[in-house]
Structure 1
Amino acid sequence: MAGSVKALILLAFTGSLGMMFMLLACALPRYNNWWPLFVIIFYILAPIPYSMARRYRDDMGASSSCLELAVFFTAGIIISSFGLPIVLAHAPSLQPVIEWGACALVMTGNVVMYLTILGFFLAFDGDADSWNYF
């Protein structure tokens, strides 16, 4: 029980750290642009394919092709979340939508948030006895 509480506290800390980088990319007076917050949609969508495929595999005994398709969709979502800030910073207009400093902060937030999501799946995958990874 104590291991799962430690894991949950660590995941909450890293998730809030990732969101701090996202908010810094938006709210700092130098950047003052809220477009990078659209990346949060990808944070919500990223674990959905894998969670659905894992449940389907457990219930139906399906092959690993379903799980591999889910990993493919998850990889596409993650790559899109890294690509969106780059496209916004490299917009072909006279003035880019976001600055490169905000793009770097969003990239840092992406890395932290996706490591948090991965840590959640590693820490809480399986039954209650396997929660003691931390």
Structure 2
Amino acid sequence: PLDVHLMLDRPQEFLKPFLDAGAHCLTVHVEAEGLRTESVLRSALDTIRRAGARPGLSLRPRTAAEALRPFLDAVDLVLVMTVEPGFGGQAFLPEAVPKVRQLREWFTGDLAVDGGINALTGRQWRSGPRGGGR
């Protein structure tokens, strides 16, 4: 499967090329400049689903989990960034743990984390919803 995470200001401009390339899952950021209104974001998620792919939403470390809540009915995947996007090798931000716990209470779909995960930080996600992950 091709799982695409679009960290772009206007991801809706790139949905069709990635869907045409065979993407099975397309994740966009709730904070994306081009997706600032609920109707535009819902339209992008609907475009992904109508194409037969799984829509996903991601949020940055400083964004509250509440920002995703109105859209959880429209996605199959939530991706929580556990570092600020931009470059690799950053340290895991522990404030992501309670955010993931909160999202797990609201969302029964796939929940993923990205950034700063290693053998030590990974233990926080192995033990199920109480540990942060699934």
**TM-score, normalization by structure 1:** 0.26
* Bigger helix fraction: 1
Compare CA radii of gyration and give the structure with the larger one.
1
Q: Larger relative CO (CA 8 A, sep 6+): 1 or 2?
A: 1
**TM-score, normalization by structure 2:** 0.26
